[in-house]
Structure formats: structure tokens, C-alpha cells
Structure 1
Amino acid sequence: MNKYNMKHIIKTSTLLFLSCMGMVAKGQQNIQFTQYIFNSMSVNPAYTGYKEEWFGQLGLRSQWVGIEGAPETGTISIDGVVDPNQKRHGLGFQAIADRLGPQSATSLYANYAFRLRLNDEDTQRLSFGIGAGMTQYSLDGAKLRPNDQVDGVIPAGRINSFIPDVRFGVYYYNPHWYAGVSVMDLLSGDQSNNIFRWDNTTTDNIRRRRHMYFIGGALVNFNSGLKLRPSVLVKEDFKGPTSVDVNALFIFDNRFWIGGGWRTGVTVFKRDYARFTGNKLSKQNSVSAITQFYVTPKLRIGYSYDYILSQLSSVQNGSHEVTLGITFGQRSNRLLSPRFF
């Protein structure tokens, strides 16, 4: 195969190599949001309807600012309960657009959650969720500059592939803590070891990987005006290092949230890559500053900044993420447990 001089994505290729210091590129393709803690439907369909009000959120993430072709992601979602009295059925919709150099993915999902009431006070629920949708994977050959201009391996223009997808999840919560587990991208497949390998008829090799997620957290009350909300997210694809996000946020007067997070890799299972690297990959990834503010009881704004800890830090300016959340309609009855998760 010919060697390529990809002028428009050379920096992207470099960052993907360097990012292996924190996560192996072949094993961690899934979209990543630091502010999943404000709306976990993106990592678990069983979360759908948790707030028991209709809630819409817009999220924009610019990763590794300063590197040409670095990941850019946008998402918009809405979810709520369709039976406001019993609150047993959650329904949600989500659209995601993700771009990395010459490749992109646009996804649409519909999520449903069946929410079991576990006590008379209705402060505990066990939810079972399913999500179904479609992703369009694209590769734009016009953004690549090979040495051989007539090389038939590179597509002349944009090629697309539509892949259906299914996801499942379970989510439990009470006023003091929550936990959930989910399996995502079940139909996306895992057919390639190289996301930058393609041909003229398929984009199978840039599909997302199947992932399993675990989320958990708690709420600690110090007094009437101050709370602490620690949380953890574990991402597992059974190929690269297991990724762990640990976050802690202070909540002031139920309106202003501020805190930070740490993202790293841990070795849980023996991996194939260890044969080639000697399992010496640095697992340092990033630290984050996170904040959220309720402008009104129905409107919230969130911002986070990720600072890279690996060798990638010398060639980029961190990652920025902004979210905007809006609650719709009137409450049918009083929420028995404020929604801090």
C-alpha cells in the first residue's frame, strides 16, 4: 500500500498517536462528554425520564483546541415522562454529530425507559432502558492529499455508510445515591484494528466500538445551602485501557455547581496491545474544571475545561465544552426528590 502525506490531517494523526498515552486509539472511539453528569442519557438509555419533567439539552464540545482536524462534537436531546401521574414511562430523543479530520458520524436515537416504583414515598426507582437508532458514517476523500494522485485506495469524494444501532441500560436511584450500567453501540461492530483504513465501498473501519458503561454517584448534605456530589464513570471496550472519570461537584443553594474531575486509564484485563507495548502506556489523560449555573429555575448553563496531562499537552490548548439545559412545561405535581443526579 502506498504511503500518504495527509497535509490536512497530519496533526490529527499525530494527536491520535500521542493520545495512546492515555487511551489506545483503536479501543476508545466513542464520543466523550465531560458534562455527562448533568444528563446521563448519553451514556445510559435507562436514565431517560429521570428528571420527571421534559428537559432539553444542547451540548457542544471542542477537543484538543489548536490541532487541525481535532474532534468536534455537538448533541441535542429531549426527554421526559409520558405519564406524569405514574411516571413509569420515559421517552427521549437524541441527535449527535461528531467530526474527526476527514471522518464524521451523525446519529439519531430514540430511547425508552420503564421505571419501576420501589417504595410508597416514590423516592426510589429502578429503570430499564432501551435505545434504537441509526448512524451515518462518512469519510471525505477530498480532505486527504496522497503522494500518488491517482491512488485508487482513497475515495475521490465523500463515501457514506448507514448502520443501525441498539443500546440497553439499567439505572437505580434514591435521594442519596445512584448507579447504572449500560451496553452501547451493539450493532456498530468491531471489524478493524485501524480506524484509518478504508476502501471505495465501505466505511466499516471508522465505526464506533461496542462499549460498556458504569455510572455511580452520591449526594452528601453538609447543611441546607451546601451539598457535595461525587460521581464516577467507567468506560470499557475490552481492547484498550479501561477509562475512568472521577468527579466531585459542590452545590451552593441548589443553583451554582462547581468542581472538577480526573480522567485516567486503569488496567483491569490483559490486553492485546500489551504484547507490543509491554503494557508501558501512560494512563494519564486529563483533569477538568466543571461548573453549572441555574440562570432561572428552568434554564441552566454548564461549562467545562479539560487540561491534558499526557505528552499531547504540548501541541494543543485543552478541550472546551458548553451545555445549555431547558425545562419545558409545568410540573404536574411536586417532585418528591430534587433532581441532583
Structure 2
Amino acid sequence: MRSLILCLFLIAALHATAQQDVQFSQYIFNGLSVNPAYAGYKGTWYLNTIARQQWTGLPGAPRTGGVSIDGPLRNDKDKAGMGLGVQVMADRLGPQQSYSLYASYAFSIPLNENRTKHLSFGLGVGAVQYHLDGNNLQYFDAEDAVFPGGGVNTISPDARFGIYYHAPSFYLSVSALDLFSNYLTSDYKWKGYNYENIRKTMHLYLSTGFMASLSDQVKLKPSIMIKDDLKGPTNIDINAMLLIERVFWIGGSYRTALPVWRKSLPSSLSAKNAASAIVEYYINDTYRIGYAYDFNINELANAQSGSHEISIGILFRSKKYSVSSPRYF
């Protein structure tokens, strides 16, 4: 039954020849994954690693891992700042795999004298390698030459753009990812045969949030993210996190979909998606560890055991790039 459900998802995705971008539950602690303008935002170099196992127990379920690092190239008091970021990502869904590498550049303009408010513009360029593993395909005729016995690859260049505004207690992020996906093909070619790939499609992101002080020890950070590929339902993440004693975050999110570009959702597609429980802990001024558990609240709930996501962050503090205000976002 579980294999049948996964096959249905794969068939639907192949028919559309596009897939949704991977969305991490802990994206609010790794802004570079959704906006290149985030590069250098923290005022010091920051390394983030993340691993996600989605739909645990479902054969061929998505698995994703990534590493990113970003920091300031120039952070002079009287000049605009510049940031650089690099992100490597690996994603697997059934017999298909993708590996991506992006380099991001951000130009940050201070909007006040004490440099606590900035407007940043970011550009990212990179490439995605798509891989189809023929050994993981199941077919009726084992000698059928139409299917590759090993694996086939194809590489597509890509670009992304973003704008990021932040103040000590507020942020606004707008970005567009996978800009070249609508103009370049990533289909596989093998011995004269063409294979349509579940490849990416362009996505628009809008995210905003603020920090509210509930007491000297507790702060509340509500936020929202809207993700849209202008083709299917619009994904909306509503998040709320509590910061306790400046070292411990606890909260959750609710993910749903709205038919913005269509009058109504198909009857077989539920608007409800998933809910997440998230915890983050700063071991000290350098190390952060986080965990998120997603549980589906749609028809897929009984076919798997939820999704697990863990992340580790390392903040390379230095006197040269010290910041006068905390980076809550």
C-alpha cells in the first residue's frame, strides 16, 4: 500500500515535469536557503548543516542534506556591506537524485546611522545535476533496453535573486529561486531515448516576521512564509517561536495551501499539509543545534511516520565583525 502511494506521487510529478522546492521546517534559522540576499546578514561567518528525512517508513521517500556557509566580505562602518555565501545540497526521491551548488553575493545598504537597519540585494548563481538511477527502477522486462542499467545524468545552470530588509525586531524577505528552470531542459538522454525528469520549477518566496518581548527572559517571534510556483496551490507556513533566556527556542509551524491562481483546489487535494514542532538550543556563543518533527495532517498521515529534521550551526565570532544588535532572524 505504501509503495502504491509513493508511485502515485511519482506519476503525478512526472506528468507535471516539475516539483516543489525542498522546504525545511527550520528555514527561519538558515535564511540563505531561500534568499541569496541573506548572505553576510549575521555580521560574521556562519556555517549551517541540515539533514531531513521526510515521510519516514515510506519506500523511496525524500531525503535531503545540505551545507551552507556565509559571511561578510566588507563590513566597514561608513560604507555599504557585502556578503558572500556558498550552499551545497543533495536531494533524493525514489530513483531520482539531484545535487546543487550555489554561490551567493549580497550588497547591503545601511538605512540609519547606527547601522541596525539594512536593505540587502542578493544574486545567486549555480548549477544542478540531476541523476536517474536505473538500478532502482522496477520494470517488467529486465532486458528492456529502454531503461538505463546504471545511471544517467544531466546538468542545468541556475540563478536566484532576492531582497532582504532587516531591523533589530523585524524582517521582510522577497526572493525568486530556480530562475532558469522554465527555459532550460533537464531531461535525460540515453542511447537515443529521452526521459522526462521531475525537475524544479521557478518559485517565489515572501517571508516576514517580528520579535516581541514578553518579559526580560522570554521573547516571541511570529513569522509567515508564502511559497508559490504560479502553477499549483500556494504554500503558506505560519510559525511561532519562543526564545527563552536567549539560548533556547521552542515553537512550531502549520503548513497549508491556498488556491491563489486557481478558483478551487482539486477535490482529491487537501489544503491541509503538515504541522511541525521545533526546538533550537544555543550550546554557547558558537554552537547551535536544532530539531524539527513534522506530522502530516492529510491523507498521507497513516502511510508514514512523520518527518525528521536536524540542523547544526557554527557561528565564527570575531572582534572585526562584531555586531551591536542581536541577530534574531
Query: TM-score normalized by structure 2?
Result: 0.91
- Measured in 2, the distance between the counterparts of 1:269 and 1:203 equals 29
Aligned to 2:88: 95
- Measured in 2, the distance between the counterparts of 1:316 and 1:178 equals 35
The aligned amino acid for 1:181 is V
Matched, 1:246 2:238: yes
Matched, 1:119 2:107: no
Give the C-alpha shift of residue 15 in structure 1: 5.0
Matched, 1:157 2:157: no
Matched, 1:178 2:166: no
Aligned to 1:73: 64
Deviations 1:51-96 (A, max 9, x none): 1110000000000000111000000010010123346001010100
The structure 2 residue matched to 1:205, chosen from 194, 197, 210, is 197
- Measured in 1, the distance between the counterparts of 2:168 and 2:147 equals 54
CA shift in 2, pair 1:312/1:190, >3 Å: farther
CA shift in 2, pair 1:324/1:270, >3 Å: same
CA shift in 2, pair 1:159/1:334, >3 Å: closer
Matched, 1:322 2:310: yes
Aligned to 1:36: 27
- Measured in 1, the distance between the counterparts of 2:183 and 2:144 equals 27
The structure 1 residue matched to 2:7, chosen from 13, 17, 21, is 13
Identity %: 43
CA shift in 2, pair 1:53/1:89, >3 Å: same
1:255–1:293 Cα contact (<8 Å) kept: yes
1:137–1:203 Cα contact (<8 Å) kept: no
CA shift in 2, pair 1:26/1:164, >3 Å: closer
Give the C-alpha shift of residue 202 in structure 1: 5.3
Matched, 1:140 2:133: yes
1:118–1:124 Cα contact (<8 Å) kept: yes
- Measured in 2, the distance between the counterparts of 1:203 and 1:186 equals 22
2:2–2:58 Cα contact (<8 Å) kept: no
- Measured in 2, the distance between the counterparts of 1:220 and 1:300 equals 22
- Measured in 2, the distance between the counterparts of 1:308 and 1:333 equals 42
- Measured in 2, the distance between the counterparts of 1:72 and 1:65 equals 9
Deviations 1:3-48 (A, max 9, x none): xxxx996553245579x9xxx9766421121100001110000111
CA shift in 2, pair 1:265/1:25, >3 Å: farther
Supply the RMSD in Å over aligned alpha carbons. Answer: 2.5
Q: 3-state DSSP class of the match of 1:314?
A: helix
Query: TM-score normalized by structure 1?
Result: 0.88
1:137–1:206 Cα contact (<8 Å) kept: no
CA shift in 2, pair 1:186/1:228, >3 Å: same
- Measured in 2, the distance between the counterparts of 1:146 and 1:155 equals 11
1:26–1:240 Cα contact (<8 Å) kept: no
Unaligned segments of structure 2, at least 5 residues: none
2:286–2:317 Cα contact (<8 Å) kept: no
The structure 2 residue matched to 1:85, chosen from 71, 76, 88, is 76
- Measured in 1, the distance between the counterparts of 2:279 and 2:317 equals 25
- Measured in 2, the distance between the counterparts of 1:191 and 1:84 equals 37
Give the C-alpha shift of residue 331 in structure 1: 3.0
Matched, 1:283 2:271: yes
Aligned to 2:260: 268
- Measured in 2, the distance between the counterparts of 1:90 and 1:298 equals 20
Q: 3-state DSSP class of the match of 1:238?
A: coil
Q: 3-state DSSP class of the match of 1:34?
A: coil
Give the C-alpha shift of residue 224 in structure 1: 1.6
Q: 3-state DSSP class of the match of 1:41?
A: helix
Alignment of 1:298-309 (within 5 A): 298-309=286-297
- Measured in 2, the distance between the counterparts of 1:153 and 1:9 equals 23
Deviations 1:219-243 (A, max 9, x none): 0011221100011111100111000
- Measured in 2, the distance between the counterparts of 1:221 and 1:207 equals 43
